Structure 1
Amino acid sequence: MELLFFAGVLVTGLIFDAIWDHFRDDNDDSTASGDETLTGTPGPDLLQGFGGNDLIYGLQGDDDLQGGTGDDIIAGGDGDDTIQGGQGNDRLWGMRGDDSISGGLGDDVLGGAGGDDIMNGNEGNDVLSGGSGVNLLSGGAGDDRLFVDANGSMVGDGGFGDDILTGGDRGDLLIGGDGEDELNGLLGNDLLLGGDIGNHNAIIDSGDILNGGGGNDVLVGNAGDDVLNGGDGDDTLIAGGSDRLNTVLTGATTAYNFNDWVDRNDDTLNGGDGDDHLIFDRHDTANGGAGNDRFDLMQSLDQTGVAVIQDYNAADDVIVLSCKAADYPIAPVVTVTDVAGDAQVRVDGVLVANVIGAAGLAPGDIVINSFANAV
């Protein structure tokens, strides 16, 4: 492995010229003291920029490229490269190969191409762009933008901040983290989580937007008033946090906490086309869309509010009332009243749901789930 330090040397090559021409400005024509231009060899190299606004190009080989402080531009070239921007607003490109890229402190742009890349924006408002492989992207603190090529897939974590994550067409796992996030699954069977796994009580989260797109998706909200749009496909939409996933994805029958299914925020669930499963509480609005949908209303005595169920079709859809076992040791009495073309559903005299346009709905049309496994 070679340690190379070049200063004031022009780097040739069409790829690097294109990157440099794209990001430089008029002030870049003269190089200030401390700014370096480093280029590697066909083998594995260690290139370190230290201070200054550096240009580093690894060429072929599995290179270790470090920008240090300053606003650096680094291109890995061929090979499985490790790239660290360090402090400053850096532009870091893995190019071909399975690359590991870290932005460091600052507002950075990180990009991959082919290969399975790992990228971490760290602190700052970063842009992370994965290529056509399987990409692991982490935004870190700041308002970040994470996306991949349409032919790629992403395991993406926005981290702390208001982030936008957009997956590819091959199936993605997108995690918003803390903040007001937007998650877009596009095509493929996606898992979208508004907050961190196992945490539906985020520190700062006034509401996320989750868009499943095509495919059979699972969308899980977080703390805050979330909007969940399933899109095409047979989707599962869960208004509360990710503690429910084990039950939904594995069909587990072990005891779990009923409160894990109820977040008591004003969420909006839109199933879209397909046969969807919507799980929500009395603070939420649920719209099944086209298809044979299941509306699963979680009911407990400590809730307030009245759920709104839209687009219910008695011929295709089913309403399930899942009652907390500790609150209802015996089956509750369910009544339905027609009011101005809508159906008002009451449990032991308490109004729990308003089913829009469902006049004629009968108590026998509602499935009662005693929720025997709740603790």
Structure 2
Amino acid sequence: MKKTIHLLLLVVMLFGLAACSQPESENQATEPIELTDALGKPLTLESLPQSIVVAGKQTPMIIDLIYLFPSAEAKIVGIENRSQTTTSFLDAFSPSSSLKVNLEKGAGAEQIAALNPDLVILKTTMAEEVGAGLETLGIPILYVSMESISEIETDITNIGIVLGDSERAAEIIDQYGQIRSDIEGKIPASEEAEPEVLLLQYSEDNGEIAFEVPPVSWLQTNLVEMAGGNPIWKEAVESGGWTKVNMEQIADWNPEMIFVVNYSGDSESTVSQLLENSTWQELDAAKNGKIYGFPGDFISWDQPDSRWILGFYWLAVKINPEAFQDVDFTVVVTDFYKTFYSLDESTIQQNILPLLFGSL
């Protein structure tokens, strides 16, 4: 009889230990989830969502953030096809990942609802165009902002909450903080004036070339300042989006360095094309060999995306070359994808390094 009781107690203890050892997400799966999204709206979910759709503008950047979490892939049931880069990025994880890109560009609320999502993740700018319709259908939405580093960190925190992996969210934010601190620690504190820097977005439409500069509050401007440069365009920009500038204004600024962004082509080839122009050749930056094409892989690294840290690192190297000697960005990129996405070196060499562009 005593042996029977002992055996029963042992079984009860084992079941108790097994329950205690369940992952945090499984234990909390039936508990309500509450958070405040990037629009300042409260979001309450009865349990962890098991089917998530990502849609709307900047879907590729949202996917880049979500895939920082290993648990995300199993829960994503739909992705809007906003860009070929999304499919290429997902293929780096597994061929089946890209099959999740199953919504056409501009998909509306009804198309999204057909996938029966427990949650839809949208950029804040999609609240009226798509979000209002989803709310009418009773589908929960997590809005993300992704405009500044602090907003990206808040978005990562909220994504971690809905995935039931707040521990990973904190780890990601800490990893970014450590790398940023290491870079900033190498940027020299100089009594001399910071170099005057110009960051330009280049675009071409039916042969007409346009140049634009970013707002003061946007990530591009912040990255230049963090890297030790003086954004020479700050006094001229308007609030809102990119501000167009002409060649006369660029020549008047005559900055020490120019960083050229091209979201539709190879930025380094764009720089070569610009330097064929005699007006560009007269700029101090051209004479000193300091006009650079902003680099990237799937997308340009100047954007509010998981890769902002690569853009910051690259700017720091270009603005402070004496402090960052012999930096090999193939190594930097390899370490980034190992650290943040847990990709192996073979996958990185095969699927990511060949995509690198810009003045690396």
TM-score by length of 2: 0.22
Higher Cα Rg, which structure? 1
Flag the structure with more relative contact order, 1 or 2, with Cα contacts below 8 A and sequence separation at least 6.
2
TM-score w.r.t. the length of structure 1 is 0.22
